[in-house]
Amino acid sequence: MSQRSSRRRLLDRRREEMRADDRRSRLMLSLIIGAFVIAVGAILIKNKIASGPIDLNSAPASKLESLPGIGPETARAIVKGRPYETIEELDKVRGIGPATIEKLRDWVTAGD
């Protein structure tokens, strides 16, 4: 066996080891990123649960903007239309219809 073929096999084996190390490193990085995403999601959900629903009659426009489907203009219109006795009264606000009210149902309260 020549020294050249021996060296070639050694290099091939080392390349394969490096590929295996790369695969393990990528897997580890993926696991770390996945764990981070899950942790951030859990914190966000915990904060949502802890904060409870947003009161339409007392929340500032900036807080209302965090609701799904509510932008700055609509948030200001909600503030302008206060007070609300029920969530359904949001249909008086321009840009809010039945579909948006349904989306907001779990997120807001009218001081029920």
* CATH code, domain carrying 70: 1.10.150.320
State the pLDDT at residue 68. 87
Query: Are 65 and 95 part of one and the same domain?
Result: yes
pTM greater than 0.75 (yes/no): no
**Residue where one domain finishes, among candidates 51, 66, 88:** 51
Across 68-92, b (16+ Cβ under 10 Å) vs e yields eebeeebbebbbeeeebeebebbee
State the pLDDT at residue 69. 87
Query: Are 39 and 1 part of one and the same domain?
Result: yes
pLDDT digits (tens, 9 = 90+) for 46-102: 776 666 789 999 999 999 998 888 999 999 999 999 999 999 999 999 989 999 999
Q: What average pLDDT does range 15-32 have in this prediction?
A: 96
Query: Are 67 and 42 part of one and the same domain?
Result: no
Count structural domains, the chain.
Answer: 2
Residue 21 in this model has a pLDDT that exceeds 90: yes
- Side-chain half-sphere CA neighbours of 16 within 13 A: 6
State the pLDDT at residue 11. 92
Query: Are 29 and 59 part of one and the same domain?
Result: no
